[in-house]
Structure 1
Amino acid sequence: MRPVRTALAGALLGALTLAGCGQSTDTAGTASATPAPTASQAAGFPVTVQAGNGPVTIGEKPAQIVSLSPSSTESLFAIGAGPQVIAVDDQSTYPAEAPKSDLSGFKPNAEAIIAKKPDLVVLANDTGGIVAALTKVGIPVLLEPAATKLEEAYDEIADLGAATGNKAKADEIAAGMKRQIDELVASAPKDKKLTFFHELDNTPYSVTSSTFIGQIYGLFGLTNIADKAPDAAGGYPKLSSEFVAKADPDLIFLADTKCCGQSKETLAKRPGWGGLSAIAKDRVITLDDDLASRWGPRVVDFVKIVDEAVTKAAA
């Protein structure tokens, strides 16, 4: 998932070093104008990007991008590639101007994608062998799986920048994210140990510290009650109401406000939850479901919410 090399034509560099005024000399000794680089060459194409599906070579700057990953959609628009995007999947809800379609990232249909005539497809899952199906007909595909740590999120943004001809802006975005997050973490209070519970849905499913979401909380020294779940379930354990009530977390983060309509009031009505410390002390933080589950540039907004909650609780 790291952009590793650009295959800029060596002739371009050679032409610049031959004659200071952009001319070359033919065999007869007469001066001839050096051909101007094409738009794709000027943008650094062809380029090879090391993605989740291995090295992917993109011959020309893509102008017909299809994104089947909400996180990648957000990143593409953030780095300035929005005008190149012609269709996004049915779960890409941000930004508002993204050309949402009925394409699915969970169950991708090769024929439906090919019908869009893309010159680049970005996705997070290789469901049903979709990468091979698209590659077979000559469509470059970037597989950018769900990030498991912040470095991978930065790296995927860099990948998209290299693949779309927006490398400088992508690098700027990634560096800005890292800077802001580092500053927030450095200034956060760390003298009080706080426990927390992150709810994915009202089943309730949660996340452990091994997940991307869990690691965000870990930056602030928070103790995750889900880490002691009987079954970690790959980082997404289903907790019992009794387990959460017994743990009595200092903070509760709800990432199921849109999908499931959860709030401090609905939590208080659950058996055994009415007396939880987080409810009594008004430490239930409602999150935008999408914001808390994506690894694009808006992860900074998620970190800010966690920072505010920790600062308030530690006061």
Structure 2
Amino acid sequence: MRRIIGALLLLVPLAAGCGGSEGADGEDRPATGSLTVEAANGEVTLPSAAKRIVSLSPTGTEMLFAIGAGGQVVAADDYSTYPKEAPRTELSGFQPNAEAIAGYKPDLVVIATDQGGILAALEKLKIPVLHEPAAEKLDDSYDQIADLGTVTGHEKEAADLVSDMKKRIDAAVKAAPNGSGLTYYHELDQSMYTVTSKTFVGQVYSLFGLQNIADKADKQGSGYPQLSAESLVKDDPKFIFLSHPKGTGDSPETVVKRPGWAGLTAVKDGHVFTLDDDISSRWGPRLPDLVEDISEAVKRAA
């Protein structure tokens, strides 16, 4: 199952040591005192700003580069496809190898999942780990950006990034008409796995008042039910958003060939849209791009 991604309010790190200082040019300076943040693995304290970071989180990698800490990242996992200058390696976040990670001599490792007990393995090697899992609510994304700003000495740049994200998101939501009463379907792949309103990306759609047809189908409460073609045709959503992995799946032009889809309101009205699956499945700095894409779609229905 693919991870999903978002954002609204900035949370200040629960605990912080001496942060970075701002120079005359307005840029952050590396922190020299100890730094403490509260992550999913509890309080994480570094003696000073991390200078050799290994990121096993594609979203974490994006965040680090977006706050100006890209130069402090010595290695990123094989799914860290953005930005292009990220030092992508064969390291895996799904099958992590503690010895391979240690080979980069990191003073901090950022993870999104504790696969294979990697957290304990790295802690045994005395390597600090920051566990920043997939965002569950809209606030989490900003909180994680703030955490990474603190441990890298880029607090100001992190705060500036969050401020810019909030402004763009607010503007995009205000630019669209209220979507209350309008239904949508967000497709993860051709097998019709989807998301509900309680997922991170589902909450992004909720910003516009859109109603998710998958909510009633999630009998297990996983947040990611699989719909049937029959139920989709019956619910007849106003919008369809395709977020397939790159190079796979259908397009707005080809979904009409699916049985029963030619008669769907979204298809007839031209309200089938393609979303970048990297952006819609992550919860990082490009979140405003997703919100703006949804905003444009809602405006077309006005």
Judge same fold: TM > 0.5, yes or no: yes
Match of 1:73 in 2: 61
Listed one character per residue, the Cα deviations across residues 108-139 of structure 1 (whole Å, up to 9, x for unaligned) are: 11111111111110010011211111111111
Match of 1:94 in 2: 82
Report the CA distance shift for 1:230/1:3 in structure 2 as closer, same or farther (over 3 A): closer
Is 1:311 equivalent to 2:299 in the alignment?
yes
Contact preservation (8 Å) 1:2, 1:50: no
Correspondent of 2:241 among 233, 246, 253 = 253
Report the CA distance shift for 1:234/1:241 in structure 2 as closer, same or farther (over 3 A): same
RMSD over equivalenced CA pairs, Å: 1.9
Contact preservation (8 Å) 1:250, 1:283: yes
Which deviates the most, 251-260 or 227-236?
Answer: 227-236
SS across alignment from 2:150: helix
Report the CA distance shift for 1:234/1:275 in structure 2 as closer, same or farther (over 3 A): same
Match of 1:119 in 2: 107
Kindly provide the amino acid, as one letter, of the partner of residue 54 in structure 2: V
Match of 1:43 in 2: 31
Correspondent of 2:17 among 7, 10, 15 = 7
CA separation in 2, counterparts of 1:112 and 1:84?
A: 18
Alpha-carbon deviation of 1:180?
1.8
Kindly provide the amino acid, as one letter, of the partner of residue 4 in structure 1: L
Match of 1:216 in 2: 204
Report the CA distance shift for 1:194/1:232 in structure 2 as closer, same or farther (over 3 A): farther
Match of 2:150 in 1: 162
Report the CA distance shift for 1:221/1:7 in structure 2 as closer, same or farther (over 3 A): closer
CA separation in 2, counterparts of 1:265 and 1:61?
A: 50
Kindly provide the amino acid, as one letter, of the partner of residue 44 in structure 2: V
CA separation in 2, counterparts of 1:160 and 1:259?
A: 32
Alpha-carbon deviation of 1:257?
5.4
Listed one character per residue, the Cα deviations across residues 64-103 of structure 1 (whole Å, up to 9, x for unaligned) are: 1111111111000000000000111111110000011011
Match of 1:27 in 2: none
Which deviates the most, 139-148 or 221-230?
Answer: 221-230
Contact preservation (8 Å) 2:109, 2:129: yes
CA separation in 1, counterparts of 2:61 and 2:100?
A: 18
Which deviates the most, 178-187 or 245-254?
Answer: 178-187
Listed one character per residue, the Cα deviations across residues 222-246 of structure 1 (whole Å, up to 9, x for unaligned) are: 0110012152541000111111111
Listed one character per residue, the Cα deviations across residues 164-218 of structure 1 (whole Å, up to 9, x for unaligned) are: 1111100111122122212222332016631100001111100000000000000
CA separation in 2, counterparts of 1:223 and 1:193?
A: 7
CA separation in 2, counterparts of 1:44 and 1:284?
A: 51
Is 1:56 equivalent to 2:8 in the alignment?
no
CA separation in 2, counterparts of 1:162 and 1:230?
A: 38
Correspondent of 1:179 among 148, 155, 167 = 167
Alpha-carbon deviation of 1:301?
0.2
Contact preservation (8 Å) 1:79, 1:173: yes
**Unaligned residue ranges in structure 2 (runs of 5+):** 1-10, 20-27
Q: Report % sequence identity.
A: 55
Kindly provide the amino acid, as one letter, of the partner of residue 7 in structure 1: G
Match of 1:32 in 2: none
SS across alignment from 1:265: coil
SS across alignment from 1:48: strand
CA separation in 2, counterparts of 1:57 and 1:192?
A: 45
Contact preservation (8 Å) 2:54, 2:74: yes
Report the CA distance shift for 1:104/1:250 in structure 2 as closer, same or farther (over 3 A): same
CA separation in 2, counterparts of 1:167 and 1:64?
A: 17
Correspondent of 1:189 among 158, 170, 177 = 177
TM-score by length of 1: 0.86
Report the CA distance shift for 1:41/1:223 in structure 2 as closer, same or farther (over 3 A): closer
How many residues are treated as equivalent by the alignment? 284
